[in-house]
Structure 1
Amino acid sequence: MGIPKVSETVERLWNGWELRMVMLLSLFLQIFLILFGRRRKYTAGFWIGKLVWLAYLSADWVATFSLGILAQKIGYSETNRFNSNQGLIPAFWAPVLLVHLGGPDTITAYSMEDNELWLRHLLVLVSQVAVAFYAFARSWWSEDPLLFVAIPIFVAGIIKYGERNWVLRSASSKQCRNEMNELSRKFEEFSNPDVFEMTDEPVVGELGLSDIIDEAKFLHEADLCFQMFRVLFADLVLGDSIHLATHIFLREKTAMAKEAFKLIEVEMGFMYDVLYTKLTKIRSLRVIFRATTFLCLVSALLAFSLGMSRHNHAYLTAEIIISYLLLYGAIVIEIYSVVSLLFSDWAMLWLTGKRKPLFNYVYRTICSSGFLHNDKRWESKMAQHNLIRFQLSKGKSTFISLMKLLGKSSIQSLEVVGDDLKKFIFQYLSDKRRRYKSMKRSPDPGSNDLHGILSERGHQVIGREGCLGNLGWSVTLPDFNESLLTWHIATDICYHDDVRKHGGDAKNIPPNCKMSIELSNYMVYLLVDYPFLLPRGIGNERYIQTCSAVDDDAILLERIISGQHYSWDFGRTISKLQKSRRKVSVLCAGFKLARSLQALVTQDGWENERKWEMISQVWVEMLTYAASHCGWKEHARTLTRGGELLTHVCLLMAHLGLSEQCLTT
């Protein structure tokens, strides 16, 4: 067979299967998105994130491309039915693509910017409906006896596509702000500052939560916190009416930090659903729309099946098979969406909110079945990045190449945020709250303790220990990122020095040491990968210059962190590091700080446990400083990666009243 013959065969094959393949591809992308689109809510997996991004961008393009081909092919099939190889293209394929453009319930927006472009999506809706109607109109005068099957699918497609635009508009910044202006009126009865003296029980009664079953009370408390989050997200001011009520809930959980974090996890899940999915509070209008969509798709499938049984059609076998796949696929996706909603926190909130024995029984049954109630939340993990270890590992080409291939070139490991760390953070925030004079504060944040408390980034801890003279310089540097990297280097060196003094046995290191290392590595990970979550500065340049300084003295540092250099001392090491020409490197400053910290034990008579307790508290204070100086839009962006510990801390602070948006009315 010559080349012209092969080319002609390929062209004929492509012309015959072009539309079929793009229709199946559009269906496949919808199935992929509904299965994996919501996994971003609780996991930061690299491959999942990238594949969802690719599928999300491709889904609309493929559906739009298919509509264009369909409009052309339908007219061609109508004028070429004398060809025995040409059959009718089902007219309902066009509205099926509208259903696909409506998107799955598990993902409506990939990022917050998609919500702001809802008006553009509305214009696309109008244009795509017009194209689909045009393709349908070209079949109107055909001999296709199943033309009417397209009508219910048109209804379903317009509902789903319209619902998507409605959800995008509802999640836009302007609309969120308009809705939140009405929210504060709900809590006007708490505007009296005496609410701070109330116990949990009266507040629960005032909010109508007293008759909620104990197993579900956390859902309703999380919903209240979520309403507060939406106010914060809209950059509005919170009065005592809201944040003191949430503070009472958290105050009662002082001994149960795990429950407080669980409350934040549910709250963040609610916010993720509102910003990025169609899964929100159950409302009668949406139930009617969902039922209408499902019935339309089922009726279309039944009508098509009935038409196939009469054998009076002009469809080819391939078109029949693909038609069944499209119809069954649309119905299965719709069923999956309904099931996802029925077993979500939203449905559980609605069930228990009815306050009826039957509904409470259903809730308990669902909760007792792990298979049914699978609305996953935060994985309670934080990424780790150790500057010195990571830079030294670059010499190991296999390791760094593999990390880059996986798209995690800056993540060395993921550490579980354990209950001990949660308790440590929550107790520290509670202590901050007790130091805040809530009963006498001024509406001006600059004239009360709140502004000063939120500005603490380590000096309060060091001052309490009487070490401002020796260590104060490290936490009062103009650039927060410089302080962060300096303490990161110092914490790492102190750890290795302690291990060296214990003969290489890391098991005898105090518990606070592990928390300090984990928080230190986590904060540097944020600096490297997500600097927008931290206060502005030249952190990136400092990081690069410090990495270069590590390269300059790689042999010495390799011996120190590996425990091989058992006789090294700070004086000679610092003298060597001071010769570095890296102007904004903090490697030398980190060693100086480490020497001062170790001197607390060797010269000032401190217990090693006391030293690490202070270091861990400094890191928590840096964590809280960064959390409170990050915008809510930036925090909301982290929800698509499973959420960050930093966002949990920021929300805990806000619910405790430790936010400059929490002012008196």
Structure 2
Amino acid sequence: MAGILGALHWWDEWQLRVLVLGSLGIQWFLLFAAPMRKYTIPRWFRTFIWLAYIGSDALAIYALATLFNRHASSSSTSSSCGNGGPSRALEVLWAPVLLIHLGGQEEITAYNIEDNELWTRHTVTLVSQVAVAVYAFCKSWPRSGDRRLLASAILLFVVGILSFSEKPWALRRASINRLAAVSSRLHGRDRKPRRRWGLFTKLEDKYIRWTRAAAHYYYSTATDKDSHHHQAADHQQVILSDGDKVHMILSDMSLFASSSGLAKRKLMKEDSIRAAADEMRRQREEEEEEGKTVTVQGDIAGDDDVVLEPLSPTAEMGSKRWLRSAFGLIYTRINVATTPAYLAFHFLLVPAIHVAAISLFAASRKRGWYNPTDVTITYVILFVTAALDVLAECIRQLLYWAMSAAGVPALCETLPQYSLLRSARRRTRPAAGRLLRCAARLGLEEEYFVCSRRGGNLLYWRVAGFVMLDLVRATGLNLATYRSFTAGNWALSLELQRKCGTMVRRTLRESFDESVLIWHIATDICFRRSPRRRPGAGDHEECTLAISNYMAHLLNFRPDMLMTGSRRHLLTEALEDLEDIIIRSTGSSSRTTKQQVDDAAVLAAILNAAGGKSERHKYPLIHDACKLSDELMEVWPEETRWELMYRAWVGMLFYSASMCRGYLHAKSLGEGGEFLSFVWLMLSLKGAKTLADKLQMPEPDAQQESQAAGGEETAATATATAMPSTDDDLDLESLVDRPGKNR
């Protein structure tokens, strides 16, 4: 009993000290961990960052509440310092420090994209917590306290309140609707800051204007070397940079709708110019009749502004920068960190205030007035908090340099793999199966324990290179035609279509989620049935398997990104069917006593069980996948087979990326990003229609299609002149739809 009472007495004495020191420790952890969210890090480490992000606010608020409860209702304790005894009055100096902690770190303003929409809640929290801290300080501060100590507390309150205020300000400016503000530039309505808020004018606006002017100058200078593009460079200006387009499509805005609005504005401008020209011509004729001369100054012809432009072969190099910029605008404080007020406050005012506060505290009288332990802890808190604020930017830059030097993949530079056959085999093993089933009952996904990243970053770069090659070579992408076996199919050439049998055609016309699942199982079976090749001999084979496993990963862990309304239970049922087939093949009905079998035995069991007529209705998806694999194995030579499978998977990958909402891509950036977001970004910049474009803009009618068909020969000639290509490229380009038809 004495030990329990002693522990309770110790906790009553050290409770507030532990809370404040714990809050300070979490802030330092977030300082080092938050910048790592811009890179591909393990899922469990992201969970720790999320717990620290949630716990930092909770711990600081609980510490303020504890401070309020200890001092608000009793003034006798704070006045006991006049008697020379130990005092807790120094604890109230920690209140402004807790407000600084509530301000959080610049690199983790929001953890999820939904946090930005809760800026009003953070504003209410700001007002309430500042009121509590100020009230507790005023209520507990002794009237006979040292004025230097009081001045130090006031300076810390200035830093704490302003730092705390930055969080709701940044959350409000990072709301998803504000990402679309760049569309106002299409209509010549750049928002001018109010005169009374002149200090808060963003330097970023000047930088964007300078970048756009420099890019236009570079484009004009580069195209001067080619007389074919000289006239276009003089009269064409890109209104939005690629970074602006990324921000628009992340907020689910349509670039085609913006282009349509810009075209309407051009027509209105041309009408006004034509009317002005007619008026000037009439005035000139009248003046000539009177014998006068008229001098016309200026040029009434306006520039030809465009929104969409051809995808550059080097666009993939800039995608990393655009994605990190979008991540910064949504999840960090970069949207306010570029303002002169923020820069002046953090680089000039904050260091000076911390130095002054520490100096005033050191010069105040403390011996005999306050508890020596509180004095020591106060010194630690003040110095460590000052180092946290002053050295934060240097630490972040060093961390970025270290992560880049170590070759850690950045946002979306990962290609997670999930194999249904491999997962089924894993679940039939005694130890792993029990662990995965227990985790499933607790609501934990298999991704927390097993997520194969075969090949690592090298696999990502190889697949990304193939994807970029297909995008640059293709023209007039109509991504919905990948499953139509006509000359308009952009993914499969007529030669490959002739190799497609009944099952290939039927399974590609199934519902998208079912088609992905059937092709994934069939691809894995074909890979296991194919003879092993030497390393580097089959690029199409490796990329096909990688895309197949990635699409299965999306269906299992990100079904909303794969396609709206994707049925994850199809994969779960197929996994149970495969597991049942493997268990039956071992001759044992007990999962715990099943012995491990090799790949050949598992493959033979699947083909035998799903291939029989009696088992057709028991395992329908497995049966279709086996029939599809049989049909694909008949395609010869082997290089043609894997090219056909690769082109089919690229068609499904591109279609899935284009049909995913920009909001989901923006949300996935907070979780490390997805390879699908990279593909979607390149497709959008290429000019292919995304989901927002399809919902906003109507499909072309029959008259427009006939006009597009009439100009198809001219478009083909222009494309061949602008971009040199091989014979294979010319065959591919002669089969795809033209831009006029698809747009």
Q: TM-score, normalised by structure 2?
A: 0.71
1:511–1:577 Cα change, 3 Å: farther
Comparing 98-107 with 202-211, which one deviates more in the overlay? 202-211
Aligned-pair CA distance for 1:641: 2.2
- For residue 56 of structure 1, report the CA deviation from its aligned partner: 1.1
For 1:209-233, what per-residue CA distance to the aligned partner results, in whole angstroms no more than 9, with x for missing partners? 5799xxxxxxxx9x93221111112
Q: Which residue of 2 aligns with 1:513?
A: 541
Root-mean-square deviation over aligned CA pairs: 3.7
| Structure 2 counterpart of 1:129, one-letter code | V
Alpha-carbon contact 1:462-1:614 (below 8 Å) kept: yes
Matched position secondary structure for 1:381: coil
Offset of residue 389 of structure 1:
1.1
Cα gap change, 1:425/1:317 in structure 2, threshold over 3 Å: closer, same or farther?
same
> Cα 1:431–1:571, aligned 2, differ >3 Å: closer, same or farther?
same
Structure 1 distance, partners of 2:352, 2:155, is 9
Deviations 1:291-328 (A, max 9, x none): 32332223212222232xx5456222221222122222
2:129 aligns with 128
Shifted more, 281-290 versus 453-462: the winner is 453-462
Residue in 1 that maps onto 2:216: 207
Q: Aligned-pair distance for 1:563?
A: 5.0
Cα distance in 2 for residues equivalent to 1:620 and 1:277: 34
Residues 645 and 540 of structure 1, relative CA distance in 2, 3 Å threshold: same
Distance across 2 between alignment mates of 1:507 and 1:560: 28
Q: Unaligned 5+ residue runs, structure 1?
A: 189-201, 213-220, 254-258, 346-366, 437-451, 602-606
- Paired with 1:10 and 1:570, the residues of 2 have a C-alpha distance of 63
Q: Distance in 2 between matches of 1:569 and 1:15?
A: 67
CA-to-partner distance for each residue in 1:74-112, whole Å, 9 max, x for gaps?
A: 354314445845443243211111111111111011111
1:318 pairs with 2:350: no
Question: Structure 2: which amino acid aligns with 1:109?
Answer: A
Structure 2 match to 1:224: 241
**Contact 1:203–1:245 under 8 Å retained in 2:** no
Question: Secondary structure in 2 aligned to 1:435?
Answer: coil
1:119 partner letter: T
1:283 matched to 2:325 = no
Aligned counterpart, 1:297: 354
User: What is aligned with 1:183?
Assistant: 185
Structure 2 residue identity aligned to 1:338: E
Q: Hey, what does 1:431 align to over in structure 2?
A: 473
Task: Identify the residue that residue 608 of structure 1 maps to in structure 2.
Answer: 638
Residue 377 and residue 457 in structure 1: after superposition, are their counterparts in 2 closer, same or farther (change >3 A)? Answer: farther
Distance in 2 separating the partners of 1:566 and 1:386: 14
Q: How is 1:591-630 mapped onto 2 (pairs within 5 angstroms)?
A: 591-601=626-636, 607-630=637-660
CA distance in structure 2 between the aligned counterparts of 1:536 and 1:567, rounded to whole angstroms: 32
Indicate conservation of the 8 Å contact 1:204/1:210, yes or no: no
| Counterpart position of 2:175 | 172
- Structure 2 partner of 1:394: 427
Superposed, 1:76-87 pairs within 5 Å as 76=74, 77-81=77-81, 82=83, 84-87=85-88
Aligned-partner residue type, residue 152 of structure 2: V
Please identify, of 401-410 and 369-378, the stretch whose mean Cα deviation from structure 2 is larger. 369-378
Structure 2 unaligned regions, length at least 5 = 191-210, 222-237, 263-303, 587-594, 698-739
Distance 1:597 1:655 in 2: 34
- Do the aligned residues in 2 keep the contact of 1:457 with 1:625 (CA within 8 Å)? no
Could you report, residue by residue, the CA deviation over 1:99-157 in whole angstroms, capped at 9, with x for unpaired residues? 11111111011111111010111011000110011011123443331122111111111
CA contact (8 A) 2:551 2:653 kept: yes
Shift of 1:613: 1.2
Shift of residue 407 of structure 1?
Answer: 5.6
Is 2:610–2:622's contact at 8 Å kept on the other side of the alignment?
no
Return the alpha-carbon distance in structure 2 between the equivalents of residues 481 and 639 of structure 1: 23
8 Å contact from structure 1 (residues 454, 658) kept in 2: no
State yes or no: 1:422 paired with 2:458.
no
Partner of 2:621 in structure 1? 586
Match for residue 57 of structure 1?
Answer: 54
> Counterparts of 2:596 and 2:309 in 1: how far apart (Å)?
46
Q: Is 2:66 the counterpart of 1:36?
A: no
Contact 1:456 1:621 in 2 (8 A): yes
Matched, 1:553 2:608: no
Say if 1:118 and 1:168, in contact at 8 Å, map to a contact too.
Answer: yes
Give the 3 Å change call, closer, same or farther, for CA 311–652 of structure 1 in structure 2.
Answer: same
Q: 1:544 and 1:94 mapped to 2: Cα distance?
A: 52
Offset of residue 247 of structure 1? 3.9
Code of the residue aligned with 1:413 in structure 2: it is R
Report the TM-score, using the length of structure 1 for normalisation: 0.79
Write the distance in 1 (CA, Å) between the matches of 2:14 and 2:427: 49
Contact 1:294 1:331 in 2 (8 A): yes
Specify the structure having the higher radius of gyration (Cα).
2
> Contact (CA 8 Å) 2:84, 2:368: kept in 1 or not?
no
Q: Is the 8 A contact 1:41 1:641 kept in 2?
A: no
Q: Secondary structure at the match of 1:515?
A: helix
Change (3 A) 1:595 1:643: same
Quick one: distance in 2 between partners of 1:560 and 1:409?
Answer: 20
For 1:8 and 1:568, how far apart are their aligned partners in 2?
69
Give the match for residue 106 of structure 2.
105
Letter in 1 for 2:352: L
Cα–Cα, structure 1 residues 424 and 393, in superposed 2: closer, same or farther, change >3 Å?
A: same
> 1-side partners of 2:560 and 2:606: how far apart?
34
Which amino acid is 1:389 matched to?
Answer: R
Aligned AA for 1:430? V
- Structure 1 residue 640: Cα displacement: 1.8
Give the corresponding residue for 1:482.
Answer: 514
Contact 1:74–1:139 at 8 Å: present in 2 too? yes
How far is the alpha carbon of 1:261 from its aligned partner?
A: 2.7
Corresponding residue of 1:151:
154
> 8 Å contact 2:35–2:396 — kept in the other structure?
no
Q: Against the structure 1 CA distance between its residues 152 and 489, is the aligned structure 2 distance closer, same or farther, given a 3 Å change threshold?
A: same
Is the aligned partner of 1:641 residue 2:671?
Answer: yes
* CA distance in structure 1 between the aligned counterparts of 2:420 and 2:329, rounded to whole angstroms: 37
Aligned to 1:348: none
Percent identity (aligned): 25
Q: What is the alpha-carbon distance in structure 2 between the residues aligned to residue 374 and residue 31 of structure 1?
A: 24
Question: Where do residues 554-569 of structure 1 align in structure 2 (5 Å cutoff)?
Answer: 554=582, 562-565=598-601
Distance 1:575 1:136, change over 3 A: same
